[in-house]
Amino acid sequence: MIDRKLILANAPSNMNEQIHVNHKGCTAGIDTKKRLYVKRTYKGLVAYCQHCSQSGFASDDDNTERLSSWIQGKQSPLVLNVMPKLTKVPMDGSIWLHKNYCNVDDHHFNGIVDDPKKMALTLHNPSYDVIGYQVRNLVPDAVPKYLTYYNFLGNRGESSWFHLESKTLVICEDYLSAHRVFRDTGHSSVALLRTTISDRTLTQIAELEFKTIFIWLDPDEAGISGATKAYKKLNHYLPQETTIAFLGINKEPKECTKSELCSILI
């Protein structure tokens, strides 16, 4: 849970205003990309870190409810957010997809009703059940760039999978990179949607018994640090028979052509 004092120290002044700051004390490592988002709502201050996936809640009034009652609710599964209403991919979305060598007609991609500057990326678990959507803001320098919606509380923080029968897995940081790897090489892939690998994702990887695993995160400081930690985690947790490789490529998978991906991974 994000520390209440940290939320209050970075609280926006206006209703529905949202700011982003570096998350001091982030459990996923040093945050230098301002991944902690704090928004003022009528219920209080809501916080979420896109680096470690922790949430937080605070109020200017010490007597209001804390996050435990706000997010846990009752025992039954809860919808975390109102799910986006889907429509066809807008023009800006088509341009973004084509820039990353993706097909606009692919069923994984949708537009958002009444908001042509956003689009939805469909999230799946390893069994290919839809678990939510990651919404990409297409406005340049938008904050936040991504917002992730999960169907149920139990899905919160899950990675997004592209998996059939392949025993080779490529671990990526973002959704389009994982999609491109799966589509263009036939390997299974998983988008962490962050720079850290969660215990749940680690367990899923172990259960699927991959023979070869490639770690290919973004070539920035956070990605390199996350890949190093993921390698150590996998190496410790998985059987010795599993081959694990750390790819130090100076491009994200989504930035590569199909021939480049195949030459690197096949």
Q: Over the stretch 42-61, which tens digit does the pLDDT of each residue have?
A: 667 888 888 888 888 887 54
Among candidate residues 122, 157, 192, the one where a domain is terminated: 157
Residues 182 and 119 in one domain: no
DSSP 8-state symbol, 157: T
Residue range(s) defining the domain that contains residue 119: 80-157
Q: How many domains does the chain have?
A: 3
Q: How far apart are CA 124 and CA 173, in angstroms?
A: 15
Residues 42 and 15 in one domain: yes
Q: How far apart are CA 254 and CA 27, in angstroms?
A: 27
Q: How far apart are CA 125 and CA 130, in angstroms?
A: 7
**Which CATH number belongs to the domain containing residue 196 in this structure?**
3.40.1360.10
Residues 151 and 165 in one domain: no
Residues 192 and 254 in one domain: yes
Among candidate residues 22, 47, 71, the one where a domain is terminated: 71
Q: Over the stretch 183-235, which tens digit does the pLDDT of each residue have?
A: 999 999 999 999 999 889 999 999 999 999 999 999 999 999 999 999 999 99
Residue 219 corresponds to which tokens in the numbers above? 């070539």
Q: Which residues contact 139 (CB under 8 A, 6 or more apart)?
A: 117
Residues 31 and 118 in one domain: no
Residues 116 and 200 in one domain: no
Q: Over the stretch 1-20, which tens digit does the pLDDT of each residue have?
A: 888 888 888 887 776 778 88
Residues 261 and 206 in one domain: yes
Beta strands, E only, the chain: 18-21, 36-40, 45-49, 55-58, 86-87, 109-112, 115-124, 130-137, 146-150, 160-162, 168-172, 188-191, 212-216, 243-246
Residues 55 and 114 in one domain: no
Residues 196 and 122 in one domain: no
Q: Over the stretch 110-125, which tens digit does the pLDDT of each residue have?
A: 999 989 999 999 999 9
Task: Answer yes or no: is pLDDT of 79 > 60.
Answer: no
> By the 8 A CB rule, do 171 and 196 touch?
no
Q: Over the stretch 126-170, which tens digit does the pLDDT of each residue have?
A: 999 999 999 999 998 888 899 899 887 777 889 999 998 899 999
Task: Quote the mean pLDDT of the chain.
Answer: 87
